[in-house]
């Protein structure tokens, strides 16, 4: 309140007002809307002259393009349609325990290029992982720029707690990374982009991808649960990621669901990850071939489920049962009635879905209705889409940074 | 963003700026600060002339008083000290399962009058409960006004989900109230007060009382857990109550802590309330005399604990163990490292504290340190202080409502 009050009375703030109004006008221009300057004036309360001047600057940034004259059928007033320019985009990258993924997302939300490489990253030297990721990213960026796209920024998502300001992975137990400085690599992933490359948590980025490019069109408030080797999560409240006081919120993988259960990699006991992470499900299903990768064994699990293997079905249903407990606890604490499941939970939805619904029914009838249970369709692109989308949003919030 | 941008450019908003600046100046005046007009000008960036004019209006509202000339030792500049006027206050009232409580809190946070009446409200007719509460409230208000206090507003806290806008208790299972309209009673509790009387959830109000009049001085982020017949809670994030999309957040009493456990009054199973609520602890301790009230049996429990009764000690330690599970799950989801325990958990702290700490250690080493576990000292006044404090804050946020 103090800052607002002071700003409203202090002199010499014209620059701030112009910056705010540029972002305000831009917020009224979407990927597919053919909005006119007159529409924006009506929506914002700004004068048409102001809007025209602000739009001229936005065209200069390259974020917005004119689509030719459009005629509004209702009012019959012609005007030039404006839309976000699909020739601007951002890089998204993800380091996961068993794969690397990169992609370029444009301002229309289209994935313009995309690469996924299977990898066994658990315990692998960070510099080797990052070198492979850089090579993938450069191929992906080259493909996108060849198609006429200019990069605004980027993001890298990792399965762990991060310090985005310093570019450090604080701890990623399933990679065995601790206090790993990736700031130098961030710069090389997408060199000299105006909005930089920012580090994020994989599950938070996947939750944001769901918000912006998935079920966010239907739910404003939900828990996102990301099933990988680890189990991560993100809380979306009022269509925004709720990241908590220190940025670590949404750690649903370490909600206690089986008090008498096993030790977890976090040092605790009975965490959701110990019964619903990939390794936990594979062990319960009896698919324990140590020679092959987690990804290969997950494929074996799916084959076993399709063949109706009882042990495999029971293992996955058990995971669904415990997922229900974690979802109920989260829904009670944060006041939610929807959950979106990604990663292997989405892949296994046919078997995990009914067990989850039945668990929700038993532990909190009516709290999360069947219509509140959704599965992500973003597969391995979720985290990279979220990381890229965050970079695009940084650009849309500060278009003046692109003016000379 | 749209609203802000529009406000900054739209004409004829002088009234809004004045309202905002009144609240801004008031936010710089505390109960015990002897702040001067010059101090406020320096802190807000407003001119001294503006501050003088705004302070004149605040004196007119009765919320602020002058304390005589004060001299700042550092700068040697004398000025008239300003402070919140302790002759303004608000009524707080609480309906609990086994007691009714009312009190008047002034703008210095002092409880000016206070009454608690034991009662067995479970299943009792709402009109009877409300009539008794009204009588208590009138006595309390009379005592406060006799001492020179003027009421600004009030609040009523109940152990259930509420719709404050309509004055309806949606569901209070431990009272057996459902869709109970208390709007008429709200008005009679403190008739014709400028900021009205507002309905709230008991645990949320107790969490706010802790924030404003208790451990909020030390913690900005914590889970508050209120132990009564039911177990309620409130999440405080960034020194504000986080109430969630629909206002039902913080329901820690229905976090699942014992998946194989008992049915709960909520229709679920294994909820914290089924193992840590008063009735659950009394049953586990073998204190089951059906003839006496819950309050009387809680007194017997305490006597048994003091006598070292093994069954009683085990029952309370078991509650502490399950409390730890719920705290860990909440801390993981919402990113917290502190918990404040009220109600019977505070009364039993000597026995429950070590079990809770050991449970926290086992389920998530290091997540909630020992210094992050605190016990409320507000006893049965917590919820009424929070309800009254909320009314006082409504007044401090909108002082212009008191101007002619």
Instruction: Write down the pLDDT at residue B4.
Output: 37
Report the pLDDT value the prediction gives residue A122, as an integer from 0 to 100: 86
Interchain pair A268, B45: CB under 8 A: no
Three-state DSSP at B161 gives strand
Shortest distance between the Cα of A186 and any Cα of chain B, in A, equals 26
Structural domains present in chain A: 2-84 (1.10.10.10), 88-206+383-402 (3.30.420.40), 216-377 (3.30.420.40)
| Bridge partner list, A136 | none
Q: What is the pLDDT of residue B304?
A: 96
Handedness of CA B70, B72, B76, B82 (dihedral sign): negative
Per-residue model confidence as pLDDT tens digits over A222-239: 999 999 989 999 999 999
Which H/E stretch holds residue B116? Answer: strand B111-118
Q: Do A335 and B363 touch (CB under 8 A)?
A: no
pLDDT of B169 higher than 50: yes
Token match 């206690």: residue?
Answer: A256
Tell me the CA distances in angstroms from B344 to B66, B204, B224, B347, one per residue in order: 42, 16, 13, 5
SS (HEC) of chain A: CHHHHHHHHCCCCHHHHHHHHHHHHHHCCCCCCCECHHHHHHHHCCCHHHHHHHHHHHHHHCCEEEEEEEECCCCCCEEEEEEECCCEEEEEEEECCCEEEEEEEECCCCEEEEEEEECCCCCCCHHHHHHHHHHHHHHHHHHHHHCCCEEEEEEEEECCEEECCCCEEEEECCCCEEEEECHHHHHHHCCCCCCCEEEEEHHHHHHHHHHHHCHHHCCCCEEEEEECCCEEEEEEECCEEECCCCCCCCCHHHCECCCCCCECCCCCECECHHHHCHHHHHHHHCCCCCCCCHHHHHHHHHHHHHCCCHHHHHHHHHHHHHHHHHHHHHHHHHCCCCEEEEEHHHHCHHHHHHHHHHHHHHHCCCCCCHHHEEECCCHHHHHHHHHHHHHHHHHHHCHHHHCC
Burial of residue A22 (number of CB atoms within 10 Å: 0-12, 13-18, 19+): buried
Quick one: tokens of B254?
């229905």
Q: Kind and range of the H or E element at B145?
A: helix B126-146
Q: Hey, are the CB atoms on B267 and A365 less than 8 Å from each other? A: yes
Nearest-angstrom CA–CA distance, B267 and A349: 26
Under DSSP, is residue B240 helix (H, G, I), strand (E, B) or coil?
Answer: strand
Cα B359 off chain centre by: 27
B181-226 per-position pLDDT tens digit: 999 999 899 989 999 999 999 999 999 999 999 999 899 999 999 9
ipTM of the complex: 0.88
Which pLDDT does position A291 carry in this prediction? 72
- Does residue B1 carry a pLDDT above 60? no
Residue A9 is predicted with a pLDDT of 38
Tell me which chain B residue has its CA closest to the CA of residue A335.
B249
User: Chain B residues with CB inside 8 Å of A364's CB?
Assistant: 254, 266-268
- The pLDDT of residue B13: 39
Closest of A177, A94, A181, A102 to residue A144, by C-alpha: A102
Taking CB atoms and an 8 Å limit, are A366 and B267 in contact across chains? yes
Residue numbers in B near A233 (CB within 8 A)? 333
Is the pLDDT at A4 greater than 50, yes or no?
no
Structure tokens at A283: 């062990």
Largest CA distance in chain A: 73
| Angle in degrees, CA A123, A129, A130, rounded to 5 | 135
**Does residue A125 have a pLDDT over 70?**
yes
Whether residue B246 lies within 8 A of chain A, CB to CB, comes out as yes
Residue A155 has pLDDT above 80, yes or no: yes
Tell me the two tokens of residue A337.
């009635």
Question: Residues B36-87: pLDDT tens digits?
Answer: 999 999 999 999 999 999 999 999 999 999 987 766 555 556 788 999 999 9
What pLDDT, on the 0 to 100 scale, is given for residue A10? 38
Chain A neighbors of B366, CB-CB under 8 A: 267
A288 contact B CB<8A: no
The arrangement of strands across the sheet holding A339-343 comes to: A240-242, A231-237, A222-227, A339-343, A373-375
Greater pLDDT, B376 or A294? B376
The whole-chain average pLDDT of chain A stands at 91
3-class SS shares of chain B: helix, strand, coil, % to 5:
45, 25, 30
Asked if B336 contacts B330 with a C-beta cutoff of 8 angstroms, the reply is yes
- The pLDDT score that the predictor gives to residue A159 is 93
Residues of A in contact with B399 (CB under 8 A): none
Nearest to A259 among B46, B258, B266 (CB): B258
Q: What are phi and psi of A88, to 5 degrees?
A: -115, 140
Q: Which of residues 148-167 of A touch B (CB under 8 A)?
A: none
Q: What percent of chain B has pLDDT over 90?
A: 82
Q: B-chain residues within 8 Å CB-CB of A269?
A: 362-363
- B245 touches A at CB < 8 Å: yes
What is the phi-psi region of residue A120: left when phi exceeds 0, alpha when psi lies from -120 to 50, beta otherwise? beta
- In Å, how far are A68, B133, B159, B273, B275 from B230, measured between CA atoms? 64, 20, 8, 6, 10
User: Which comes out higher in pLDDT, residue B27 or A10?
Assistant: B27
Could you tell me which residues come within 8 angstroms of residue A191 by beta carbon, excluding any fewer than 6 positions away? none
| Confidence at residue B75, expressed as pLDDT on a 0 to 100 scale | 56
Contact residues on chain A for B268, CB-CB shorter than 8 A: 328, 362-365, 367
What is the average per-residue pLDDT within A95-100? 93
Q: How does pLDDT run across B221-264, given as a tens digit for each residue?
A: 999 999 998 999 999 999 999 999 998 999 999 999 999 999 99
User: Does any CB of chain B come closer than 8 Å to the CB of residue A330?
Assistant: yes
Mean pLDDT of B291-317: 94
- The count of other CB atoms within 10 Å of the CB of residue A343 is 27
Question: Chain B partners of A5 at a C-beta cutoff of 8 Å?
Answer: 20-21, 24, 44-46
User: What per-residue confidence (pLDDT) applies to A394?
Assistant: 96
d(CA A225, CA A326): 10
Neighbours of B117 (CB within 10 A): 12
Q: Is B20 close to A2, i.e. CB distance below 8 A?
A: no
B334 in contact with A at a CB cutoff of 8 Å? yes
User: What is residue B9's predicted lDDT score, i.e. its pLDDT?
Assistant: 38
CA A17 remoteness from chain centre = 31
Query: Which residue in B has a C-alpha nearest to residue A9's C-alpha?
Result: B46
């Amino acid at each position: 309140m103090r800052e607002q009050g002071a700003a409203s009375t202090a002199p010499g703030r014209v620059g701030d007002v112009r910056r705010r109004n540029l972002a305000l006008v831009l917020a009224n221009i979407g990927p597919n809307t053919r909005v006119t300057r007159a529409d924006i004036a009506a929506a914002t309360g700004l004068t048409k002259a102001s809007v025209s001047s602000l739009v001229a600057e936005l065209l200069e940034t390259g974020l917005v393009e004119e689509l030719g004259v459009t005629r509004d059928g209702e009012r019959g007033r012609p005007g030039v349609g404006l839309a976000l320019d699909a020739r601007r985009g951002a890089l998204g990258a993800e380091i996961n325990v068993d794969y690397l993924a990169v992609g370029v997302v444009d301002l229309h939300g289209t994935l313009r290029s995309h690469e996924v490489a299977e990898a066994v990253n658990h315990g692998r030297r960070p510099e080797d992982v990052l070198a492979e990721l850089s090579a993938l990213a450069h191929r992906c960026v080259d493909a996108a720029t060849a198609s006429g796209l200019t990069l605004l920024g980027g993001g890298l998502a990792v399965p762990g707690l991060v310090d985005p300001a310093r570019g450090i992975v604080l701890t990623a137990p399933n990679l065995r990374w601790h206090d790993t400085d990736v700031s130098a690599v961030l710069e090389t992933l997408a060199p000299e982009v105006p909005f930089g490359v920012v580090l994020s948590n994989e599950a938070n980025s996947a939750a944001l991808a769901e918000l912006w490019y998935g079920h966010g069109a239907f739910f404003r408030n939900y828990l996102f649960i990301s099933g990988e080797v680890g189990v991560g999560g993100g809380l979306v409240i009022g269509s925004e990621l709720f990241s908590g006081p220190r940025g670590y919120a949404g750690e649903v993988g370490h909600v206690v669901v089986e008090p008498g259960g096993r030790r977890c990699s976090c040092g605790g006991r009975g965490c959701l990850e110990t019964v619903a992470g990939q390794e936990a499900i594979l062990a319960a299903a009896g698919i324990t071939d140590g020679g092959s990768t987690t990804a290969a064994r997950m494929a074996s699990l799916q084959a076993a489920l399709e063949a109706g293997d009882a042990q495999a079905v029971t293992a996955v249903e058990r995971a669904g049962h415990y997922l229900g407990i974690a979802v109920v606890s989260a829904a009670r604490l944060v006041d939610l009635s929807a959950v979106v499941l990604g990663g292997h939970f989405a892949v296994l939805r046919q078997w995990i879905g009914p067990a989850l619904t039945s668990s929700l029914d038993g532990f909190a009838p009516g709290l999360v209705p069947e219509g509140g249970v959704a599965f992500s369709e973003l597969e391995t692109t979720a985290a990279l889409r979220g990381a890229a989308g965050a970079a695009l949003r940084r650009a849309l919030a500060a278009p003046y940074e692109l003016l000379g």
